[in-house]
Amino acid sequence: MNRSIRTPLASLAFRVAVATACLSALLSPATAATAAANYPTNPIRIIVPFAAGGTSDLVTRILAQAMGTELHVPVIVDNRPGAGGNIGSELVARSAPDGYTLLMGTVATHGINTSLYKRMPFDPVKDFAPVSLVASTPSVLEVNPSLPVKSVADLIAYAKAHPGKLYFGSAGNGSSHHLAGELFDSMAGVKMNHVPYRGTAAAVTDTIGGQVQVIFDTLPSAMPFVKSGQLRALAVTSAQRDPALPDLPTLAEAGLPGYEVGSWYGLLAPAGTPPAVVDRIGKLVAQIVRRPDIQQKLQAQGATAVGSTPAEFATHIASEIRKWKPVVQASGAQVD
């Protein structure tokens, strides 16, 4: 008898469970839409996959403060450095796709690393939903003042006349500045010797000291040494001249048409984040970076405000991955 009673009850429970699941499936789009309309109701965390104090961190903090004011919730900056940005990026890739954990991606995490690392803990395209390209920072080609060159043309001529005699420093193998030098060599038809350092500061110190003669450095880092005369700036690596150094030509203007290298900072969400949430954040970011006060703060860090749609940012990421793959391969740089 007990068995005959339990069987109908079990069958009923099964049918109720199925009906509930079906109802949930029918309601989920509406629920998702409601959640997007009410977003945000909780604090938002932006992961910076690099140490505090760098340009990516400073740009994120400028944006986070403005976002918090506009959204009326705390926007927390969380630094998770390591493995060239891969540690923090993986954390976001594996986070809930609800818009409450975001990543400030860079040219390293979403351009270079996929070719540089033998094993990537995430897919820079499939595991993320691009939100907006926030800002970009050009680099500066600098030389030790004792080097008898005053232009890019002079540097190329000197390198060709003294093969194997020039050395350029970088923050490390596979860093954006290492690859900027490799791209320069390739496009200029010269070969400078690469000297990797453990960080930009050491590379700059040795360029000033003359142990190496050439360096590519980010604009914020380069400015004090250019202004003091400790290093001589020859060109910026961006497509347009930078307002901070308006008289300094671009490398494209100075004889290498098509040369463009720069650091960039863009907001991404985990793949699967509701499009309405992504769209809302993207529009807010674009609105924020158009503000004169925000542009002024970014310029103080050597960064230029961008602001883009999610689709535009996705196109930019795909372009960067394609661009850096052959440069990484030609450099021979690889990280296990």
DSSP 222-250: HHHHHHHTSSEEEEE-SSS--TTSTTSPB
Domain co-membership, 102 together with 148: no
Say if residue 98 is in the same domain as residue 158.
no
My answer on whether 147 and 219 are in the same domain is: yes
Residues 169, 195 within the same domain: yes
Q: Look at residue 28 in the predicted model and tell me its pLDDT.
A: 52
Contact present, 231 and 222 (Cβ < 8 Å): yes
Q: How far apart are CA 169 and CA 139, in angstroms?
A: 14
pLDDT band at 1 (very low <50, low <70, confident <90, very high): very low
Q: Report which listed range, 89-103, 196-210, 243-257, 301-315, is most confident.
A: 89-103
> In Å, what is the CA distance from 32 to each residue of 22, 194, 238?
16, 51, 41
Per DSSP, the three-state class of 68 is helix
Domain that holds residue 155: 138-236
Same-domain status, 274 and 129: yes
pLDDT, mean of residues 283-311: 94
State the CATH number of the domain containing residue 301: 3.40.190.150
Domain co-membership, 201 together with 130: no
Rounded Cα distance between 188 and 183, Å, is 8
pLDDT by residue (tens digit) across 309-324?
Answer: 999 999 999 999 999 9
- pLDDT score of 332: 85
pLDDT for the residue 6: 42
Q: What is the mean pLDDT of residues 97-106?
A: 97
pLDDT at 26: 45
> Which one is predicted more confidently, 53 or 10?
53
Estimate to the nearest angstrom the gap between the alpha carbon of 249 and the chain centroid: 24
- The residues that bridge with 130 in the sheet, in sequence order, are 268
Cα(264)–Cα(12) distance, rounded to whole angstroms? 58
Question: What pLDDT score does 320 carry?
Answer: 94
Q: What integer is the mean pLDDT of 3-9? A: 41
Residue 81 lies in a domain: yes
Does residue 211 sit in the same domain as residue 283? no
Backbone angles phi, psi at 170, to 5 degrees: -150, 175
Cα–Cα dist 63/133, whole Å: 12
pLDDT over 70, % of the chain: 89
Residue 92 and residue 145 in one domain: no
| Confidence grade of residue 171 (pLDDT, cut at 50, 70, 90) | confident
Residue 200's CATH number: 3.40.190.10
Which pLDDT value is given to residue 74? 98
Provide the pLDDT confidence category of residue 25 given band limits of 50, 70 and 90.
Answer: very low
Encoding tokens for residue 118? 């033998």
pLDDT for position 198: 83
Q: In the chain, how long is the greatest CA-to-CA distance?
A: 102
Let me know whether 83 and 157 are in one domain.
no
Question: Residue 24: pLDDT above 80?
Answer: no
CB 67 within 8 A of CB 283: no
